[in-house]
Structure 1
Amino acid sequence: MLRAILAATLCLLVGGCTTISYYAQSVEGHLRLMARTRAIPDVVNHADTDPALRKQLERVSAIREFASRQLDLPDNQNYRSYADLGRPYVVWNVYAAPEFSLELQQWCMLFVGCVNYRGYFDQNDAAHYAGELIAAGTETHVSGVPAYTTLGYFNDPVLNTFLRYGDQEVARIVFHELAHQIVYVNGDTAFNESFAVSVEIEGVRRWLTETATPERLREFEKRQERKEQFHQLVAQTRDQLRTLYASSLAPDAMRAAKTEVIAQMKQSYADLKASWGGYAGYDPWFSQPMNNATLGSISLYTKWVPAFQALLEQEGGDLPRFYLRVAALADLSKEERVIALDMLQSSRLASAE
Structure 2
Amino acid sequence: MIDLRHLPLVPLLLVLLLNGCSSYYGQLAEGQWQLLSQRRPIARLVADPATPPELRRRLQLSSAARDFASAQLALPQNDSYRSFVDLQRPYVVWNVFATDEFSVAAREHCFPIAGCVAYRGYFDQGRARGAAALLAEQGLDTWVAGVEAYSTLGWFDDPLLSSMLRRDDARLVAVIIHELAHQRFYLPGDTAFNESYASFVEQEGLRQWYTMRNETPPTSDDAHRRAFIEQVLASRTRLEQLYAGDLSPEQMRKEKTAEFERLRRDYRSLRDSHWPGDTRYDAWFSAPLNNARLLPFGLYDQWVPAFARLFEAHDRDWEAFHHAVENLGELPAARRLEALERLGTAKRG
* TM, length-normalised to structure 1: 0.89
- Shift of residue 193, structure 1, vs aligned partner: 1.4
Report 1:172-183 matches (<5 A). 172-183=174-185
Quote the residue 1:3 is aligned against. none
Partner SS for 1:119: strand
Q: Deviations over 1:129-154 (max 9, x none)?
A: 01111111111111000011111111
Quote the residue 1:329 is aligned against. 328
- Shift of residue 112, structure 1, vs aligned partner: 1.2
Partner SS for 1:142: strand
CA contact (8 A) 1:11 1:109 kept: no
Q: Deviations over 1:88-114 (max 9, x none)?
A: 000000111111111111111111111
- Shift of residue 314, structure 1, vs aligned partner: 3.4
User: Counting helix residues as a fraction of each chain, which structure ranks higher?
Assistant: 1
Which residue, 271, 274, 283 being the options, matches 1:273? 271
- Shift of residue 268, structure 1, vs aligned partner: 2.2
Quote the residue 1:129 is aligned against. 131
- Shift of residue 19, structure 1, vs aligned partner: 6.7
Quote the residue 1:262 is aligned against. 260
Unaligned runs of 5+ in 1: 1-5
Instruction: For 2:317, give the aligned amino acid.
Output: D
- Shift of residue 189, structure 1, vs aligned partner: 1.6
Partner SS for 1:299: coil
Partner SS for 1:308: helix
Partners of 2:249 and 2:306 lie apart in 1 by 36
Partners of 2:55 and 2:15 lie apart in 1 by 29
Partner SS for 1:257: helix
Partners of 1:159 and 1:181 lie apart in 2 by 17
Partners of 1:50 and 1:17 lie apart in 2 by 42
Quote the residue 2:119 is aligned against. 117
Percent same amino acid at aligned positions?
Answer: 42
CA contact (8 A) 2:16 2:26 kept: no
CA contact (8 A) 2:83 2:160 kept: yes
Quote the residue 1:199 is aligned against. 201
Which residue, 94, 99, 102 being the options, matches 2:101? 99
- Shift of residue 17, structure 1, vs aligned partner: 6.6
CA contact (8 A) 1:140 1:293 kept: yes
Q: Deviations over 1:150-194 (max 9, x none)?
A: 111110011100112121111111111101112211111221112
- Shift of residue 249, structure 1, vs aligned partner: 2.1
Instruction: For 1:318, give the aligned amino acid.
Output: D
Q: Which runs of structure 1 show a deviation greater than 4 angstroms over 4 or more consecutive aligned residues?
A: 16-19
Q: Deviations over 1:61-110 (max 9, x none)?
A: 11111111222211111111111010000000011111111111111111
- Shift of residue 327, structure 1, vs aligned partner: 1.1
- Structure 1's 186 and 325: CA in aligned 2 closer, same or farther, altered over 3 A? same
Quote the residue 2:224 is aligned against. 226
Task: Give the length in aligned residue pairs.
Answer: 337
Instruction: For 1:169, give the aligned amino acid.
Output: R
- Shift of residue 248, structure 1, vs aligned partner: 2.0
**After the TM superposition, which of the residue ranges 268-277 and 234-243 deviates more from structure 2?**
268-277
- Shift of residue 331, structure 1, vs aligned partner: 0.5
- Shift of residue 210, structure 1, vs aligned partner: 2.8
- Structure 1's 171 and 10: CA in aligned 2 closer, same or farther, altered over 3 A? farther
- Shift of residue 316, structure 1, vs aligned partner: 4.2
- Shift of residue 59, structure 1, vs aligned partner: 1.0
Partners of 1:252 and 1:237 lie apart in 2 by 20
Instruction: For 1:277, give the aligned amino acid.
Output: P
Partners of 2:44 and 2:168 lie apart in 1 by 21
- Structure 1's 76 and 115: CA in aligned 2 closer, same or farther, altered over 3 A? same
- Structure 1's 186 and 302: CA in aligned 2 closer, same or farther, altered over 3 A? same
- Structure 1's 127 and 329: CA in aligned 2 closer, same or farther, altered over 3 A? same
**After the TM superposition, which of the residue ranges 56-65 and 228-237 deviates more from structure 2?**
228-237
Quote the residue 1:9 is aligned against. 14
CA contact (8 A) 1:10 1:150 kept: no
CA contact (8 A) 1:234 1:299 kept: no
Q: CA RMSD in A?
A: 2.2
- Shift of residue 347, structure 1, vs aligned partner: 4.0
Partner SS for 2:295: helix
* TM, length-normalised to structure 2: 0.90
Which residue, 184, 187, 193 being the options, matches 1:185? 187
Instruction: For 2:291, give the aligned amino acid.
Output: N
- Shift of residue 28, structure 1, vs aligned partner: 1.0
Partners of 1:17 and 1:190 lie apart in 2 by 26
Partners of 2:304 and 2:124 lie apart in 1 by 31
Partner SS for 2:183: coil
Quote the residue 1:306 is aligned against. 305
- Shift of residue 309, structure 1, vs aligned partner: 2.8
